[in-house]
């Protein structure tokens, strides 16, 4: 399984970015997908996730109401629309795949390479 994340960049506070993660190697629609983020010196944290069949979503409190996760199973791609960005959202964002939706990092067996999001104040 390969995951390829893209869409990061530099944006001013209050701006928006849309991250994408393209998957290959297995039946995409069967599996949950999630976005995590990590800043230097801190643990990788759950941001948002979406289940496979039912497309249930779950968000970290810090991004609820600002970020939206979605998936296009026909394109084997998951997205993270990030609005009203804050400087504290600055991090490397990783996409990940799991058998089921969970916030537990260790349950995700497949990871993308990460894409850097920098939010300037």
Instruction: Look up residue 111 and give its two tokens.
Output: 């990871």
26, pLDDT greater than 80: no
User: Using CA atoms, how far apart are residues 94 and 58, in angstroms rounded to an integer?
Assistant: 16
| Residue pLDDT, tens place only, 28-53 | 889 999 999 999 999 999 999 999 98
pLDDT at 28: 87
pLDDT of residue 53: 84
pLDDT digits (tens, 9 = 90+) for 50-90: 999 899 999 999 999 999 999 999 999 999 999 999 999 99
Q: How far apart are CA 1 and CA 109, in angstroms?
A: 9
Q: What is the DSSP letter of 28?
A: G
* Per-residue model confidence (pLDDT) at position 27: 82
């Amino acid at each position: 399984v390969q995951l390829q994340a893209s869409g990061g960049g530099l944006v001013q506070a209050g701006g928006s970015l849309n991250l994408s993660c393209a998957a290959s190697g297995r039946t995409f629609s069967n599996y949950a997908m999630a976005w995590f983020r990590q800043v230097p010196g801190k643990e990788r944290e759950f941001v948002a996730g979406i289940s496979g069949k039912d497309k249930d979503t779950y968000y970290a409190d810090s991004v609820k109401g600002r970020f939206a996760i979605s998936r296009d199973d026909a394109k084997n791609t998951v997205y993270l629309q990030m609005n009203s960005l804050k400087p504290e959202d600055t991090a490397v964002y990783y996409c990940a795949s799991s058998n089921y939706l969970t916030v537990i990092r260790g349950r995700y067996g497949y990871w993308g390479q990460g894409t850097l999001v920098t939010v300037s104040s």
